[in-house]
Amino acid sequence: MSTTPTSVTVPGPAIPARALKIQSRLRMAATWALIKPYWKSEDRKAGLGLLTLVVALNLGIVYINVLLNEWNRVFYNALEQRDYASFKVLLLRFSWIAAFFIVAAISRQYYTMMLQMRWRTWMTGQFMGHWMGHQAYYRIEQTHTTDNPDQRISDDLRQFTDGALSLSLGLLNSVVTLLSFVGILWTVSGPISLALGGNEIVIPGYMVWFAAGYAVIGSLIAHLVGRPLIGLNFQQEQYEADFRFTLVRLRENSEPVALYRGEPTEQAGLRARFDRIRANWNQLMRYTRRLTFVSSGYAQFAIIFPILVAAPRYFAGKMTLGGLMQTSSAFGQVQGALSWFVDSYATLVGWKAAANRLIDFQEAIRVAERQDEAHTGVRDIEVEHTGEPQAGIRVDGLGLALPVRAQRGASVGQRPLVAPFSLSIAPGERWLVNGPSGCGKSVLFRALAGIWPYGSGTVTMPADARTLFLPQRSYLPIGTLADALAYPDAGTAHAAEALQAVLLQARLPQLVDQLDVFDNWSLRLSPGEQQRLAFARALLQKPRYLFLDEATSALDEETEGIMYRLMVEALPDAAIISIAHRSTVAAFHGRRLRYVPDDGAGAQDGQGGDAAVSYRVVCEA
């Protein structure tokens, strides 16, 4: 067998220039809508308390910088005058000023990190709640309206909260620094006279104007050079998440890949995804190089610029050495405060990219929530609960459809799949659902579960409808075997004796003594063991309506018969509805729901218009 890596085309080409420009938009109103809710939440008192403390520490550090600026003037004048007594006193003064600065800086960092985590914790809870609520996580995956929600909840939320605090506190620090030092710089720089057209023009506090002009020009250049980095950072996060997801998927499917000898194809696919990371990174490098050139040149020239501007007055004897150093220090503080935008631009573009990804994710969640809450349009299927405890499941005029998507993945319509039909399932009845592959049998189960938004009709559930759906491959969470068996309950919600008993009934004696073992059970157990574990779960939960979607496909006919007989005997009052292809399963069911091709099915229009349905349902006793 050849081991030469094959060429793989990764779906989802590089984002075009127009889309990149859209992702580079600032979207300030939407960004503010992300920031505001926490500061009005139930945690706002603790958050505002920490924020007040951090702001106070920032103000204290600015005050210490003012003291250091004044200390510079006195210290260098003492050096110029060779005043040794003052020199010793000033060194002592510097020691306690520096000590206060260190304590304030450490405290500010500590409480800023504490506030970052509180804010991130609250936002993570909100996003996870909305993502899991209304089953938005499922609907988003159906419509592919956003990518990698895991990465947006973990990385983007962290970057957003950390960046919002660091940038806002940096801006506050710059404003306070500017207000504190602009008066000092205005006073110590004095006026400058310029001859223009035979007239003498006097500019008071000229160093302030030089600092402002220098910062404005630098900010404009930085924005023009660095703005594309917002969209490029947006793309980089997406590509990194895609690559990481593919690695995790390979790990979770290591056995089938090994059986297929699919290493060359998987390696080629991973390489192709990484090539997208590298190509985008090359663009990031180019734009970052330009931005670094601007910011580094700006910062380096700012060191000598105030000396050059103030040197004429110093050499003219109008300024002492201490005054020159104080002027240089004050200019640096003012220019630095005015240069917040330039200095923070690299951080700002990364933060804005994370904010834009969260805005898109939040909008996708809201769309999913509106689809779930509205009973018209894309979600016409209603799931109602009747107050009659003994009533069965009633289906009225249920027509099923499939979503039709555009090339970019957005849902643009529905293609009818199954003609409307009615059905009644009473407690204790056994229904077998069969038909050709792809006819919509599993879609029916999803509609009965209330998670399929495409179609029309009404599904009425009784008030005491404890339902359990066992798909072909049941979900097994990573954790203890007890947690995997009892899901969605916690393993501790059931006595160990009960868990052991259902494992024995499901013919899994080898797992009885492993209830407390922590593992990824979907990888450790064979498909047959996983299906028997699912039957043990049904015995544990005792549902009134049990839906089996090819839940015995990995079992031999003998074991399959044992599992079905076990369900019938252990759950005599439960309705059992099965999707299965084997004729042996039919012996355990008294009724049949059969999918047959619709004779009037015509050509599909591909846009969910008036296309004919593909199948109709026949109920047989």
Domain edges within the chain = 17-371, 380-476+525-620
Confidence of residue 1 (pLDDT cuts 50, 70, 90): very low
Q: What is the pLDDT of residue 405?
A: 62
- Please report, rounded to a whole number, the percentage of residues in the chain having pLDDT higher than 70: 86
Q: What are 224's two structure tokens? A: 């023009």
Confidence of residue 14 (pLDDT cuts 50, 70, 90): very low
**Segments of 426-498 assigned E as strands:** 430-434, 455-462, 467-470, 479-480
Confidence of residue 380 (pLDDT cuts 50, 70, 90): very low
Q: Is 569 left (phi over 0), alpha (psi -120 to 50) or beta?
A: alpha
pLDDT tens digits, one per residue of 196-222: 666 777 777 777 887 888 778 887 888
Say if residue 343's pLDDT is above 50: yes
270 in Cβ contact with 247 (< 8 Å): yes
The more confident residue out of 151 and 91 is: 91
Range with the largest mean pLDDT of 83-97, 186-200, 503-517 = 503-517
Q: What is the pLDDT of residue 603?
A: 38
Q: What is the pLDDT of residue 7?
A: 42
pLDDT tens digits, one per residue of 430-454: 999 988 888 888 889 988 887 787 8
Q: What are 417's two structure tokens? A: 């799949």
Q: What is the pLDDT of residue 224?
A: 81
Confidence of residue 195 (pLDDT cuts 50, 70, 90): low
Of 454, 377, 356, 394, give the one whose Cα is nearest residue 139. 454
Range in 191-200, 355-364, 450-459, 547-556 with the lowest mean pLDDT: 191-200
- Please report, rounded to a whole number, the percentage of residues in the chain having pLDDT higher than 90: 23
Going from the C-alpha of 16 to that of each of 19, 22, 41, the distances in angstroms are 5, 10, 39
Side-chain-facing half-sphere of 185: CA atoms under 13 Å: 26
Length in residues, the chain: 621
Is residue 182 classed exposed, middle or buried when 0-12, 13-18 and 19+ CB atoms within 10 A define those classes? buried
Mean pLDDT of 240-249: 82
Distance of CA 411 to the CA centre of its chain: 21
Range in 22-26, 251-255, 336-340, 583-587 with the lowest mean pLDDT: 22-26
Q: What is the pLDDT of residue 19?
A: 47
Mean pLDDT of 243-263: 77
Topology given in CATH for the domain delimited by 380-476+525-620 = Rossmann fold (3.40.50)
Q: What angle do CA 10, 241, 157 make, to 5 degrees?
A: 150
CA distance 259 to 257: 5
**Coil, strand or helix at 41:** coil
Q: What are 261's two structure tokens? A: 């000898």
- In angstroms, the first-to-last Cα distance of the chain is 52
47 in Cβ contact with 116 (< 8 Å): no
pTM of the shown model = 0.64
DSSP string of 135-164, one letter each residue: GHHHHHHHHT-SS-HHHIIIIIHHHHHHHH
Give the homologous superfamily in CATH for domain 17-371. ABC transporter type 1, transmembrane domain (1.20.1560.10)
Distance of CA 105 to the CA centre of its chain: 32
pLDDT tens digits, one per residue of 26-43: 677 888 889 999 999 999
Range with the largest mean pLDDT of 187-191, 231-235, 452-456, 541-545 = 541-545
Mean predicted lDDT score pLDDT of the chain: 81
Range in 71-75, 609-613, 616-620 with the lowest mean pLDDT: 609-613
The more confident residue out of 272 and 612 is: 272
Q: What is the pLDDT of residue 182?
A: 80
Confidence of residue 107 (pLDDT cuts 50, 70, 90): very high
Residue given tokens 């590089």 in the structure block: 14
Q: Name the CA radius of gyration of the chain, rounded.
A: 34
